[in-house]
Structure formats: structure tokens, C-alpha cells
Structure 1
């Protein structure tokens, strides 16, 4: 005989033990596990909403904590625009998204330069390479102005480094 299926609460706690979830994301995951009876789908969804309210009251389900966690994980690879889009796709409101992204420690330009250096260790030598690097950063969710500054900053840093070497040899 098979073991009984875990309760809705047990499934929610097991999911929350692995990582943070937004309310909408957790609700979608748990709703998939509910097997609707012929006339009892509404009470199951009401029980799910009540469970999510209880988890939020207990502090086990916290959207700000989820947003901060996701933003921290994504900022090593992506820009502000891409992270904001992903946070909004999880059902978070704009004020929370702006607050979380405003609290990021590392400025957007430094992150863009770091990501660019990691992907392209050498500065672009041609216009075609520069365009490729720009497209790369734009696809990662960095704004056009930040991308232009990052590309210029890479070339500027390289040129000042060479100028410093020339001064040191004189």
C-alpha cells in the first residue's frame, strides 16, 4: 500500500525549506498538486489561500526576502532591467522591486564592467567587436547608457594603463 500524499502544508514547508518563493510562485506550485474533486475545487483553493496567509503571518513566506535573494543571485550575471523584469514576473509590485534594486551594493556600471571583463578579457579592437560586446551587455539587461560607459571605461582604463607604462619607462 502506498504512503498517503503529504498535506498541503507539508508540501509548502518542504518547498520553503529549499529556497525563498514569492507568494504567486508558491501558490502556482502548490495548486498543481491539488487534485480537484468534482465539486470541491473551490474549497481546496480557499484552503491554499488560507495556508499562504498563515505562512506569511508566521514569516515563513516573505516577498521582500524573496526579492532580495533573487536580486543577489542574479546581479552577478544580469543588469538592473533584467532583474526587475524577472522580479515583476514573480508577481512583485513595482515599489518593492525598486526598493530592492535601489539597495544593491555594487553600482550598475561596475557590475557591467566586471561582467564584460569576465566574458571579454581584452578590450574591443574593432567596431565589430565593440558592437558584439554592446549586444552582450544589452542582452544581460544593462541600460544603453551603462553599456556605453562600460565599453568606454574598458578602453579608457586600457589606454591609461598603457600611458602609465610609458611614463614609468621614461
Structure 2
């Protein structure tokens, strides 16, 4: 007989980096894990249900939640860790890059939360964790944008992100 795990989290962006580390940590604590990413490989760990899927696709989010519930009967935590980061100023994004970033980083969170939340509400408990990236870099004296610390009491911005251009860097 399969012992029911104490908690069942879904971890998005689980194939590498922070996501893979979160999956490993949950497993060390004895939790079953539903792990997903576009490049998710089949896990040899019977406590990990691997599901390949693209968070930008609403039907993938619906399938993820349905399969998780069919296998484990509950979802206790959703870790929204999947996303796209482009290592360049937003002013250099193409229209296609912008659409991909918004679809993955915003719509992907929304689609999965919309499918998970009703089940958590019926259970009377649940957690949703959003993991995002910082877009403001630490102060850098090599910047050519605006006055630096001596002039305004704040760091210079390395990249022309909107809040740097508007003079709020270091205040977020």
C-alpha cells in the first residue's frame, strides 16, 4: 500500500537551478512532488511525478493540475518558479521576446494559479509561492546613466530599466 505523502507541491521550472533544488528539498522532507518544465525529464524517483509542459500554454496548466490531483488527490503548494529572463535592457527586446516574457512570467503564473486555487480553497489550505527575478542591478560606477551616489545619494544604474531611468534605483 502506498503511504500518502504529508504534502504535495507542484514545482514549476523544476528541471534545473532553483526549481531542481526545491524539488530535492521537498523530497528530503518526504513530500511527493509534481515537477514540471518545458524540458522535464522522467524522474526515476517514484515520489516525483514529472510532467513536461510549457507554462505559457493554458491547456498545459490545466493538464498539470488534473494529473497532479489524479495521482495524489491534493495539491498543497504551488511554486511558480518557471520564467524567462533576458539578460539585456528591456529597450532592446523585440516584440516576440516581450510576448514570450509576458506569456511565461505573467500568464504562466496566472493560468496555473487559476486552476490550482479552487482545489486549495476546497481543501481549506494551500500555499502559492512566486519566484521572480530582480530587474534592478546593484549600483555600478561604470554607468553612464544619471548622477551617481555623490550627486544624489543613490547608486548608478547599470542598465536602462524603467525605474533606473526614472531615478528610483536602489529604492526598491
TM-score of the aligned structures, taking structure 1 as reference length: 0.27
Which structure carries more relative contact order (alpha carbon 8 Å, separation 6+)?
Answer: 1
Whose strand fraction is larger, Structure 1's or Structure 2's?
Answer: 2
TM-score of the aligned structures, taking structure 2 as reference length: 0.27
